Structure 1
Amino acid sequence: MGEITQLSAVELRRRMVAGELTAAAVMAAHLDRIEAVNGAVNAVVSLRPRDGLMAQAEATDVRGGALAGLPVAVKDLANVAGIETTMGSPAFAGIVPSRSDEMVRRMQAAGAIVIGKTNTPEFGLGSHTFNPVFGATRNPWDLGRSAGGSSGGAAAALACGMVPVADGSDMMGSLRNPAGWCGVYGMRPSWGMIPGEPGGDSFLHQLSTSGPMARCPEDLALLLSVQAGPDARVPHGVPCPDLSPLRAQVAGRRIGWLGDWGGAWPMEAGLSGACEAALAVFEGLGCHVEPLPAPFDAGALWEAWITLRSWAVAANLRELYETRPEVLKPEAIWEVERGLAMSAMEVHEASVIRSAWFAKAAEVFGRFDALALPTAQTWPFPVELDWPKEIGGQGMDTYHRWMECVVPVSLIGLPALAVPGPRGAQGLPSGMQLAGPRGSDLALLQLGQAYHEAAPWAGEMPLL
């Protein structure tokens, strides 16, 4: 059954609808794969009993929706009715919701069979997936390394063939970093395309979004088409475009290479070269690639980001901080205390910087169809490390400073596609992100599809 777990979701669906595969065979193959490799990788958690999953697969009408018969595991920040949601925190271990979140309901309505959860760091904070409930997720290309985060469980499960598609979420690169480190694809859609849950404030905090992850762009488009679409209960919603014309002529498209943002970001050796090798694939497809000077002050972007992020985290975790601070890791406490200490004008000033960058980015996109950046500033680091304290001799002053390269996208809600780059000298995967103006999701996926068909390393899976 190894072949089944290496097939794309689109191909699995085609074969099931054609009667060449049954949903039960697809489920059995993926459960067998989980049994074989998850003990080493620790990507899938809260796995449902096999008998119940097989019975559900056997009862599935494979023509009953876009995802009918596909096994999926939901990131452990989202609620699935009947499955424990821990958010990686002991404070929530054992809590089983009675209702699925809207994004999950959409996947279930499309016929997906939720088999369990994928691991995440505590409350999704940090680009390294470890927590005191389930432990650390390991990189399937090197079990001594991190899989990234916070969608590290999803990325590792995909890379190993434990699931054909996966959901993730992205505030500060949480889709893009693990995709790059595990050799898969992650799509941060235009902000508002996938609605959040209608609880708490839904107007002010515009940093985080859910999105699809997969081993190819066609599968990203398949899952995004199910996840996306406005929710009348949530403001700022934007419609999902038709994602069906994925194969397109990309010759002539213009890509601006931002590299290390004019020297502002320290980068581990070899990462820029890996991205440049990926950009050479686009040049081979007829795209115009041009190095681009830093278009905005990196320090201003960073200060705006950490202000707005801490404000958002404090809003989410304040009650727990005030009642059970002992269950929060130091990085979460640091975020909450920063957020609680902020004045309204400090938040306003950060958003003014955000607004200025949005306007400047619009000018840049007048010249380019997409901007290219690395997905992280380091190669996957040892799994025992909580976070990198320095890069190339330069100290990191926060637990997330080594991920500064994702801030220009996240700060203003741009769509971004993480594509796998070539592996480095130690055999570790690299990643590059392509960002576009809001609403350019289809154009990015088209670039990704052309790249996937041309890059010799695209689609590689680790030998576990």
Structure 2
Amino acid sequence: MEVRAEAAALARRTDLALLPLAGVPVGIKDHVDVAGCPTRHGTAATSDASAGTDDELVRRLRAAGALVVGKTTVPELCQGPFTESAAFGITRNPWHPGYTSGGSSGGSAAAVAAGMVPLALASGGGSIRIPASCCGVVGLKPGPGLVPHRGQGWRGMSELGPIATTVADAALMLDVLAATDCYRNSVPDRDRALRIGVTAVPPIPGVRVDPQVRAALDAAVKALRDAGHVVDTVAPPWRVRDHPRYIARYFAGSADDADGFSLRALERRTGAIVRTGRLLRRFPLGRDEIPAETATRFAAWFADYDVLMTPTLAALPPRAGGWANAGMIRTHLAASRLIPFLLPFNLARLPVVTVPAGRSIEGLPIGVQIAAASGGEGLLLSAAAQLEQLRPWPWRTSDADWSV
């Protein structure tokens, strides 16, 4: 009823043509305040009292004419590459309900993939790209400072950004969130051949890339190369030492997010993560700053290439169910096998986007990830839009005829 009343009021405005999201329904991840709705963070440890005011990003979306239709589900305290919690149940993949929608913005990605909303607000280190890849939609993690946010910072590795049906929609939503008007103009942009580096070498030793994931990446490479872009198989900029650096910051940041919560009120896995993080944040490895050596190494790599393309996930989405009660070690091992390609860009704090690139024989979407140097959001959107044009994918799960 509230959304219908807002829509009716919006329809009476005389400036609709000036509102970039006039009448567009959006979902808001449930760690962001929406006036009149509780902010639960996926846990029963929070109050069910409604927030009194909108978060700044929700305010910007409403000012652009968007209609906030509801909150989208998250795992407890946004922890994990799935969206399951003891308090709020399982959010399943719209393409195949037996599988996870990813996490932690799984509710946002599932809502967009199912056609409930064309846009949703998401956040995280890998928590935008994981569910976007699992659900066959576009997910953009911007670089630091572009989109204002508070909380869930993971020591500077987490950002808020759009999950959208198309690249153009993601660009438009990014403009609204960042209070700019430049990104929508970079889609599409085909003024020159891009220098694209490609790698399928996982950042974590011993991780195997699923053959279907590799096939989707190869198909994307061929399409871009056939379109005239320079596409080279390259040595990646990451090193083995990046992984422990990331892990220390992840756990320390997770402990920060849980400050003020009683560990006894949290799920077993969440409590273990928080206790580990509280221990690690005593040491220098968990400090906020990007390691200078890491920043220099990635900047030097991008001096030779416009973008770097990898698989988004190394494996197909795991089965849904049982993750809310899984222990920390099991969850960490599953995440290491699934999301290794996301972690270096979190540590280096670079902008990165995932776009759909095909489907597995099980009917599950497969994404490819494109990263750029600091400030390269427009370049990312241009590259993603060109791949979208070369290899179009269905907008939602009702359009089932889609293959690699």
Answer whether TM exceeds 0.5 for this pair: yes
Asked if the contact 1:262/1:293 (under 8 Å) is kept, the reply is no
Q: Which of residues 303, 310, 320 is equivalent to 1:383?
A: 320
Q: What is the CA–CA distance in structure 1 between the aligned matches of 2:273 and 2:302, rounded to whole Å? A: 33
Task: Please tell me the residue identity of whatever aligns with 2:129.
Answer: R
SS of aligned partner of 2:369? strand
Q: Which residue of 2 aligns with 1:371?
A: 308
Within 5 Å, which residues of 2 pair with 1:5-404?
51-60=1-10, 61=13, 62-63=16-17, 65-171=19-125, 173-197=126-150, 205-229=155-179, 241-249=182-190, 251-261=192-202, 264=205, 265-298=207-240, 300-320=241-261, 324-342=262-280, 344-347=282-285, 351=289, 354-386=291-323, 398=333, 400-402=335-337, 403-404=339-340
**Aligned letter for 2:243?**
W
Displacement of 1:360: 0.6
Q: Which amino acid aligns with 2:120?
A: A
2:27 partner letter: A
Q: Secondary structure at 1:148's aligned position in 2?
A: coil
Within 2, Cα distance between the matches of 1:418 and 1:266? 20
Higher mean alpha-carbon deviation, 99-108 vs 448-457, is at 448-457
- Contact 2:252–2:286 under 8 Å retained in 1: no
The 8 Å contact of residues 452 and 459 in structure 1, kept in 2 or not, is answered as no
Aligned partner of 1:9 in structure 2 is none
Cα distance in 2 between the residues matched to 1:349 and 1:186: 27
Name the amino acid aligned to 2:165.
R
> Residue 333 of structure 1 aligns to which amino acid in structure 2?
G
Structure 2, unmatched stretches of 5+, are: none
Deviation, structure 1 residue 334 = 2.3
In 1: Cα distance, 2:228 partner to 2:69 partner: 42
Shift of residue 378 of structure 1? Answer: 1.7
User: Are the equivalent residues in 2 in contact too, given 1:85–1:96 (CA < 8 A)?
Assistant: yes
Query: Contact 1:251 / 1:285 at 8 angstroms: preserved in 2?
Result: no
Aligned to 1:45: none
Contact 1:188 1:415 in 2 (8 A): yes
Matched to 2:132, the amino acid is A
**Following TM superposition, by how much is the alpha carbon of 1:260 offset from its aligned partner in structure 2, in angstroms?**
2.6
Contact 1:187 1:211 in 2 (8 A): yes
Q: Counterparts of 1:245 and 1:226 in 2: how far apart (Å)?
A: 15
The Cα offsets for residues 103-142 of structure 1, whole Å up to 9 and x where unpaired, read as 1111111121111111111111111011123211111110
Q: CA deviation at 1:256?
A: 1.1
Contact 2:86–2:267, Cα closer than 8 Å, also in 1: no
Partner of 1:413: 349
Match of 2:367 in 1: 431
Aligned runs of 1:436-451 on 2, under 5 Å? 436-451=372-387
**Number of residue equivalences:** 391
The root-mean-square deviation of aligned C-alpha atoms, in Å, is: 2.5
Question: Cα deviation per residue 1:409-460 (whole Å; 9 max; x = unaligned)?
Answer: 1112100010101101211110111000010100110111111111043535
Q: Tell me the distance in 2 between the aligned counterparts of 1:426 and 1:185.
A: 20
Q: TM-score, normalising length from structure 2?
A: 0.90
Deviations 1:209-266 (A, max 9, x none): 100111111101111111014xxxxxxxxx7755424221165211111213378232
Seen in structure 2, the aligned counterparts of structure 1 residues 349 and 121 have a Cα distance that, compared at 3 Å, is closer
Return the letter of the residue paired with 1:141.
Answer: W
Higher relative contact order (CA 8 A, sep 6+): 2
8 A contact 2:115–2:396 mirrored in 1: no
Does the Cα contact within 8 Å between 1:81 and 1:99 map onto a contact in 2?
Answer: yes
Letter in 2 for 1:187: L
Separation in structure 2 between the aligned mates of residue 57 and residue 158 of structure 1, nearest angstrom: 20
Deviation of the 1:332 alpha carbon: 2.0
Q: Look up the match of 1:20.
A: none
Structure 1, unmatched stretches of 5+, are 1-50, 230-238, 390-394
> Alpha-carbon deviations, 1:186-223, whole Å to 9, x = none?
011111100113x79x8x93111100111111101111
Q: What whole-Å deviation, never above 9, does each CA across 1:12-38 have from its counterpart, x for those lacking one?
A: xxxxxxxxxxxxxxxxxxxxxxxxxxx
In structure 1, distance between residues paired with 2:5 and 2:258: 39
| Alpha-carbon distance in 2 for matches of 1:362, 1:458 | 35
Q: How far apart, CA to CA, are the structure 2 residues paired with 1:112 and 1:443?
A: 26
Instruction: Provide TM-score, normalisation by structure 1.
Output: 0.79
* Shift in alpha-carbon separation, 1:460–1:89, aligned structure 2, 3 A: closer
Deviation at 1:461, TM superposition (A): 3.3
Conservation of the 8 A alpha-carbon contact between 2:30 and 2:42? yes
Indicate the SS of the match to 2:156. coil
Identity of aligned residues (%): 31
- Taking the aligned partners of 2:69 and 2:87, their CA distance within structure 1 comes to 19
Aligned-pair CA distance for 1:372: 1.1
Q: 1:94 to 1:396 in 2, by over 3 A?
A: closer
342-351 or 406-415: bigger deviation: 342-351
1:337 partner amino acid: R
